[in-house]
Structure 1
Amino acid sequence: MEQTGCAVVGGGPAGMMLGLLLARAGVEVTVLEKHGDFLRDFRGDTVHASTIRLIDELGLGDAFRRLPQSRLNSVAFPIPGAGMVTIGDFASLKPPYNYIAMMPQWDFLNFLATEAAREPSFTLLMEHEATSLMFDGGRVAGARYRTRAGTEGELHADLVVATDGRHSVLRRAAGLQPKEYPVPFDTWWFKLPRHASEKGAVAGIVPAFRDREAMIALFRDDYYQMGYLAPKEDSARIRSEGVDRFRERVAALRPDLADRVDAIRSLDDLHWLDVRLDRLRRWYVDGLLCIGDAAHAMSPVGGVGINLAIQDAVAAADRLAPALLGGRVTAEDLAAVQWRRRMPTVIVQTVQRIMHRVVFVPLFAGRTPGPPPALLFVLRHVPRMRGLLPRLIAFGPRPEHAPGFARRHQPRGTHGNH
């Protein structure tokens, strides 16, 4: 019989960070990841200052900064008639946490997996897809899985943590139903080549707007990761219009990239994301805890989903490691994790819902988008708010610190010299 202390289902940022932290506490932890590697496009790439600080506290700052990355030093928004309005200038924050790192998520996940593998109590099982839960007297007692080869198995655990994303199999198996909030758009992700003359140490998320559509561009080493945003009800029409019409839309939004839209060979080159914004009323049942997107699916607005999920993992590890080492995790322990992380989740989702109403609903209705004039005035003329917003973006509400059991020594001050 396969047995572990904590079965973590899903090898995304929350799952890998939780696995690393619990293993450093000495908990036997097994992460089940359904894919064979982390090399999947069109995932979030922002590593916020709160996460960078956490990595430093874990003694991994130097290794993290050696990974290929670029720095996002500010967040600006194009407002018709007002130009680019900066809503977050991270230079006002105290170094070395005065930027957001931009790196491919697969590099970040490989980094976490490598560090976790150094811990003797950590196991990562790739190509193991969780299919259902096991119960013992009403309590979750483990997870069933299927390998890519078709072999089925059971992993018994003192606790199962679902980090398997917005379409979580485990939360559905536990009967946990999220409350959903309306989202006015979906995102179509695709790649465009980035010429050698355009390369350099540039980080950013470049938005463009037209009538009833928008697009963002994220920089990669040799390509742009593009996200085309359109009203949810337009998905069928976009498919029916075909690839030539889609190329025209891209060229109209970004004329500077019109010379390479033929790289979109067919609609098969597009990755459609059904954008959701939801939150479980209850994140747990006895023996099972949901965190990250499994507990609260986030809108891509602000790019905060990864970091909110990682903060969930830190809070969960801090509370649950002693209970797991003691041999019994109670429902009260799981409720305590939800209590600590619910408020930050509500705040971030509320801000995202406001951004949906203020920017995207008017845009997709054919009206000029943009924040209210009073907000523009505050952003430009109220120094306290100009200092508060960058910190909220970079750290979020209630950022977590590494538990004492997970910290490792790093030469003092080295991480500030990068």
Structure 2
Amino acid sequence: MEKTGCAVVGGGPAGMMLGLLLARAGVRVTVLEKHADFLRDFRGDTVHPSTVRLIDELGLGQEFRRLPQSRLKSVVFPVPGGPPVTMGDFDALPPPYNYIAMMPQWDFLNFLARAAAEEPGFTLLMSHAATGLVRDGGRVRGVRVRTPDGTQEELRADLVVATDGRHSALRAAAGLAPKEFPVPFDTWWFRLPRRPDETGEVAGLVPAFGPGEALVGLTRTDFYQMGYLAPKGTDVRIRAEGVEGFRRRIAALRPDLADRVDAIASLEDLHWLDVRLDRLQSWHINGLLCIGDAAHAMSPAGGVGINLAVQDAVAAAELLAPALLRGQVTSADLHRVERRRRPPTVIVQTAQRVMHRAVFGPIMAGKQAKFPAAALFVARRVPAVRKIMPRLIGFGPRPEHAPAFARRTGAAPQPQP
């Protein structure tokens, strides 16, 4: 395989955004994606306000808004015997970035791939799996790659960036071990049908709680995307109960959807997510940088994982493009990226750990079967909370802007109805 400037391993949101930005800087960049396409269900499909703003800055806003999508404007918790409580109101954010765009992740990734393909230095290799690192003289010089026909080749690069997720093969090959934080639950994703005559805001979020379990429902145009939460280590028990037992669990938590749980044909319809929360103590070695979930696996609490990964990519592109154009990327350059992105990562993960202890931990332990009363009281009585939470979720503690070299004309955002 030919040599490239930057080898990006993993075609998720961080990898595709990094590839697009570096290509616009004039860097030769090759993105390796082990799958043949992006069509994988129940991956994060929230495009946050900071990312929508970034897309506008890149001059891609009009095309992005033509993609099928719905808008999450608020997070509302139903309260038995009382009015619902708004935990986060994205309308409090300045328009036109006052919503979270909900779309299948494969549409978002294909959108980024089309934009990147217009840059002469960009290459996307599907069905190419990175299997190890190429080292020389104490430095990572590239990656070993399994091609679609099963042969092993080497891709040499001035820099390798691992964006291959929470189970990153490259960070393991580099000997980078993350520090893990306790998580009280795992998640099982599945779909239930939605009838055309049913009301409810498309993209709306409805949670339900029971002793030792919880259920989150996201309203889509023609289906409900459901996430069942249960204590870690429960998967074996759920499988042993069979599909009928799982249907009963869902019907008990959401009686209004009990008439359609038969749509769960078998346990094969469930997508189990082993929820992890971890962070590398060092994000790089000489010649290799980890960003996104490869550097810090996030809990789904708050749905901020994609947002944080994209922000990592933007910072990495801005800070590393000059060195890549010179063909001389040092460990000091890589440390600058980590130094910039570690603080917002720590802040977000700390907030998730607080949510785990205060909300999900007691529920998963069976000590309560509803959202904590104290949190509901604060949401009702302290209006600032409804502004802080959307800001933290939508933009993060250190939002990034598109580098000057990546901006294109026609990027001015248009107010959205």
Same fold (TM over 0.5): yes
Q: Secondary structure at the match of 1:416?
A: coil
Task: Tell me the TM-score normalized by structure 2.
Answer: 0.96
Change (3 A) 1:269 1:406: same
Distance 1:41 1:169 in 2: 21
Q: Secondary structure at the match of 1:358?
A: helix
Alignment of 1:227-376 (within 5 A): 227-368=227-368, 369-371=370-372, 373=374, 375-376=375-376
Distance 2:302 2:81 in 1: 23
Return the offset for 1:156.
Answer: 0.3
RMSD of aligned alpha carbons: 1.7
Return the offset for 1:201.
Answer: 6.2
Corresponding residue number in structure 2 for 1:8: 8
Q: Secondary structure at the match of 2:124?
A: strand
Distance 1:34 1:193 in 2: 31
Distance 1:124 1:236 in 2: 38
Alignment of 1:66-215 (within 5 A): 66-78=66-78, 83-198=83-198, 202-215=202-215
Corresponding residue number in structure 1 for 2:415: 416
Corresponding residue number in structure 1 for 2:37: 37
Distance 2:91 2:115 in 1: 30
Distance 2:79 2:215 in 1: 14
Change (3 A) 1:389 1:191: closer
Q: Secondary structure at the match of 1:75?
A: strand
Task: Tell me the TM-score normalized by structure 1.
Answer: 0.96
Alpha carbons 1:70, 1:201 under 8 Å: kept: no
Alpha carbons 2:57, 2:411 under 8 Å: kept: no
Distance 1:240 1:346 in 2: 38
Alpha carbons 2:56, 2:411 under 8 Å: kept: no
Alpha carbons 2:162, 2:291 under 8 Å: kept: yes
Identity %: 73
One-letter code aligned to 1:142 = G
One-letter code aligned to 1:265 = A
One-letter code aligned to 2:27 = V
Change (3 A) 1:355 1:158: same
Query: 1:33-89: CA deviations, max 9, x gaps?
Result: 001111110111111111111111111111111111111111223456665322211
Distance 2:82 2:367 in 1: 16
Distance 1:3 1:124 in 2: 14
One-letter code aligned to 2:215 = M
Alpha carbons 2:32, 2:130 under 8 Å: kept: yes
Alpha carbons 1:145, 1:153 under 8 Å: kept: yes
Corresponding residue number in structure 2 for 1:388: 388
Corresponding residue number in structure 2 for 1:60: 60
Corresponding residue number in structure 2 for 1:398: 398
Query: Larger deviation: 144-153 or 95-104?
Result: 144-153
Return the offset for 1:372.
Answer: 5.9
Alpha carbons 2:200, 2:219 under 8 Å: kept: no
Query: 1:328-372: CA deviations, max 9, x gaps?
Result: 010001111011000111111111111111111111222224346
Distance 2:376 2:350 in 1: 19
Return the offset for 1:179.
Answer: 0.2
Q: Secondary structure at the match of 1:97?
A: coil
One-letter code aligned to 2:153 = G
Change (3 A) 1:216 1:201: closer
- Structure 1 stretches of 4+ moved >6 Å: none
Return the offset for 1:269.
Answer: 1.5
Distance 1:150 1:132 in 2: 15
Structure 1, unpaired ranges of 5+: none
Distance 1:126 1:229 in 2: 33
Return the offset for 1:264.
Answer: 1.5
One-letter code aligned to 1:393 = I
Alpha carbons 2:86, 2:386 under 8 Å: kept: no
Query: Larger deviation: 363-372 or 242-251?
Result: 363-372
Q: Secondary structure at the match of 1:2?
A: coil
One-letter code aligned to 2:388 = L
Query: 1:283-329: CA deviations, max 9, x gaps?
Result: 00000000000000000111100010000000000000011001101
Q: Secondary structure at the match of 1:52?
A: helix
Alpha carbons 1:199, 1:222 under 8 Å: kept: no
Q: Secondary structure at the match of 2:234?
A: helix
Structure 2, unpaired ranges of 5+: none
One-letter code aligned to 1:370 = F
One-letter code aligned to 1:131 = T
